[in-house]
Structure 1
Amino acid sequence: MTARNFLVRGLLIGLLAGFASFLVAHQVGEPHVERAIALEEANAAAADEPTHADEHADEGTSVSRPNQRTWGLLTGTLAVGLAVGGLVALVAAGTVGRLGRLSPGQSTAVVSLVGFVAVALVPFLKYPATPPAVGSGDTIGDRTSWFFGFVLISVAVAALASLLAVRLAADVSTYVGVVSGAGLYLVVMVAAGLLMPTVNEVGDFPADELWFFRRASLLTLVALWGVIGVGLTGLVARLHGQTSAVRARRELAASL
């Protein structure tokens, strides 16, 4: 079992995960995006102000909504799926044999779960996705920096918490290791969430529509990471079983 074996499987599963997340985003999320755009256009017309789409059209960078919600969305989700699938596969390959007595399939499942929590779930709870009509264009740079900064903090703390969990699991017990690692991550990320700037630019956007949009965004993330975690774990477990069977046959042949 080599890193290349993991990477190839991660990229294949990443493509499948990207397509799955596209289906969720298109069927669940895009209707709320359309309603958000309609609200933005209605508010802009009432105030006689240009919308974000009008501004992009003036700059000559306008992309039609049919293309945005189909080919553009599919291209984006496939690219993200490939990137995430490849990264998860490489990290999973690096953790084989380093997470106690876990098998390669089990360690891959742990890596996928930790990755989802650290990269997707916790940053989403602090800085959730917002529809087009929410947020000021003047603060988009700051909001983007805060989000990616929080993601980096989350990933770094998750790595340290995982190292602590593995060390304590080997020296004390698995229970103590898991609880200590999870506790460290929770405490540090709660503190980081309280210290990082808060974004409150909802304005008079309908609360129910904002909730539905954010729920759809979270479901898209769950689809992406869920397919990667389940699919890659299954492929790695199968690869490990085949490798073990070949090794056993060779050992048996050598002993005869």
Structure 2
Amino acid sequence: MNSATVRNLLVRGMVAGLGAGLLALIAAYFLGEPNVDSAISFEEAHAHEHEVELVSRTLQSTAGLATGVLIYGVAFGGIAALAYCFALGRVGRFSPRATALLLSGCALLAVYVVPFLKYPANPPAVGNADTIGKRTTLYFLMMLLSVLLAIAATILGKRLAPKFGTWYATVAAVAAFAVAIGLAYAFLPVINEVPGGFPATVLWRFRLSALAMQLTLWGGFGLIFGELAERLLNPRPAKAEAPVRWRPPRTDP
């Protein structure tokens, strides 16, 4: 793949990331923000000291949220496009569109869903401020393990395919990945810092909204970028115009 194609895919990845970010912003605003407000209300009701707000809650939930999600979407789209350039043609004989969807789905699973199941997202008022460094380290460690194990499972599947066939090689690779992730879940420490009396419904809905936001982001990126990559790499041939038949001029009798 030449540098011009990589550059064009990178630009399209950033555009797709922006579009996916807009979709994720809608999901975050309508699904996530009401639960954040509920968590903040609980925190304020049980706080002994009230801190002065440097940025208003209204600004945080509108301009602040939009800025963060859209910038993240563009950056995420550029990184995903570079990963796509590397994966294209190496994961099977898929079309550019199908490759984008496959890569988005696998990345969603490895980068977000697997770490999320071990260390799920928490709303305000959940989590001890003194352990934020430890919790962040454990989360990124789980993410790194998940990505590395996913890459290892892919390599394992490709090496087993010539001997056992694609189906059995895929089953073996997925099983190995699941076992390795299960061991990581078992050995990494459990974190449970939900304060007493915190509404379980708010916690559950917040985590579901966080998952829905990521599903929207990755799914939207896969669909948008897949279409853009398909048009770039497999352009449709222009329709040939029907030839015009020459006819002799009519002469009136």
Q: How does 1:1-256 map to 2 (within 5 A)?
A: 2-44=5-47, 49-51=48-50, 54=51, 57=52, 62-204=54-196, 205-242=198-235, 245=237
**Under a length normalisation based on structure 2, what TM-score does the superposition of the two structures give?**
0.87
What is the CA–CA distance in structure 2 between the aligned matches of 1:170 and 1:80, rounded to whole Å? 40
Q: Tell me the equivalent position of 2:248.
A: none
Distance 1:128 1:108, change over 3 A: same
Once the two structures are TM-superposed, the CA of residue 5 in structure 1 deviates from its matched residue by 2.2
Once the two structures are TM-superposed, the CA of residue 124 in structure 1 deviates from its matched residue by 0.9
Once the two structures are TM-superposed, the CA of residue 170 in structure 1 deviates from its matched residue by 4.4
Once the two structures are TM-superposed, the CA of residue 171 in structure 1 deviates from its matched residue by 4.6
- Write out per-residue CA displacement over residues 92-144 of structure 1, whole angstroms, 9 at most, x where no aligned residue: 11112212322333222221111000011111111111111111111111101
**Which residue identity lines up with residue 208 of structure 1 in the other structure?**
T
- Write out per-residue CA displacement over residues 43-97 of structure 1, whole angstroms, 9 at most, x where no aligned residue: 11xxxx125xx1xx3xxx8211111101111111112111221121111111122
Structure 1 runs, 4 residues or longer, greater than 4 Å off: none
CA contact (8 A) 1:100 1:166 kept: no
Once the two structures are TM-superposed, the CA of residue 7 in structure 1 deviates from its matched residue by 1.0
**Which residue identity lines up with residue 50 of structure 1 in the other structure?**
E
Deviates more, 1:162-171 or 1:1-10: 162-171
- Write out per-residue CA displacement over residues 132-191 of structure 1, whole angstroms, 9 at most, x where no aligned residue: 111111111110111011111111111111122233334532212321221121111111
What is the CA–CA distance in structure 2 between the aligned matches of 1:234 and 1:172, rounded to whole Å? 34
Once the two structures are TM-superposed, the CA of residue 229 in structure 1 deviates from its matched residue by 1.2
SS in 2 for 1:242: coil
What is the CA–CA distance in structure 2 between the aligned matches of 1:93 and 1:112, rounded to whole Å? 13
The number of residues matched between the two structures is 235
Structure 2, gaps ≥5 residues long: 239-253
What is the CA–CA distance in structure 2 between the aligned matches of 1:102 and 1:177, rounded to whole Å? 18
What is the CA–CA distance in structure 2 between the aligned matches of 1:106 and 1:162, rounded to whole Å? 17
Q: 1 or 2, which has the higher helix percentage?
A: 1
What is the CA–CA distance in structure 2 between the aligned matches of 1:231 and 1:184, rounded to whole Å? 32
| Greater C-alpha Rg | 2
CA contact (8 A) 1:100 1:170 kept: no
Q: Tell me the equivalent position of 2:249.
A: none
What is the CA–CA distance in structure 2 between the aligned matches of 1:232 and 1:153, rounded to whole Å? 27
Structure 1, gaps ≥5 residues long: 247-256
Once the two structures are TM-superposed, the CA of residue 40 in structure 1 deviates from its matched residue by 0.6
CA contact (8 A) 1:3 1:90 kept: yes
